[in-house]
Structure 1
Amino acid sequence: MAIREIEESDWLRLGRIGTGRDAILFSSPFCGTCKVAERMLEIADAAGVPVTLYKMNINFSPKLRDAWKISSVPCLVLLRNGEPVRFEYTMRSVDHLYKLLAEI
């Protein structure tokens, strides 16, 4: 499954609380590091992580950015039952991301 691009309003409308494990990559379209992080997540996803992956433009996500205190991009927010359990700002390697996604 590919990384799904989602808008903040759509995410808030989903009501994901109590429905499993998700991860949202907050990024900016002009961020080169964000593009690398997205590619690494695509590879981890192709390897079969048991998580639904989303990506969201930080510039159009003020509610989540402020509520979760996201300080920079790329930021991978790992969620369990709709609640953030980890914020990962350093995308070290595909293996590292795969392990993070497999553990949540």
Structure 2
Amino acid sequence: MKEVKDLKVLPEVGRGYVFIYSPFCGTCHLAREMLGIIEKMNDEDIFYEMNASLFPEFMQEYQVSSVPCLLIWKDRKVEEKVYAFESVTKIFNLMKEKERL
């Protein structure tokens, strides 16, 4: 995963996935493991990861209500927010569905 240290690194064009977490959140650690499996399957960094505590203005602007959260990003806009990381398969299938659009 690519760590967001500056908001300028977020994808400007096309599709991107931003994983928002808190370092003190146990569920966030499990969600990160799920996303890590998807990256290993594709053998590349797919996700940006952002520590919610470091970007409070971003959290407010994009109305992120809790962590973990996966923002599905398209053309500098949030297309969808995923809060329930139920399984690797669910996230993977959601990503495949979005890529067809």
Which TM class, normalised by the smaller chain length? 0.7 to 0.9
TM-score (norm 1): 0.84
Q: Secondary structure at the match of 2:73?
A: strand
Shift of 1:92: 0.5
Are 2:5 and 1:4 equivalent residues in the alignment? Answer: no
**1:62 aligns to what?**
56
TM-score (norm 2): 0.86
**2:23 aligns to what?**
29
- In the alignment, structure 1 segments of 5+ residues that lack a partner are none
Structure 2 distance, partners of 1:97, 1:36, is 13
**2:11 aligns to what?**
16
Contact 1:6–1:56 (CA under 8 A) maintained in structure 2? yes
Q: How does 1:89-104 map to 2 (within 5 A)?
A: 89-104=83-98
Residues 51/82 of structure 1: CA separation in 2 closer, same or farther (3 Å cut): farther
RMSD: 2.0
Contact 1:51–1:101 (CA under 8 A) maintained in structure 2? no
- In the alignment, structure 2 segments of 5+ residues that lack a partner are none
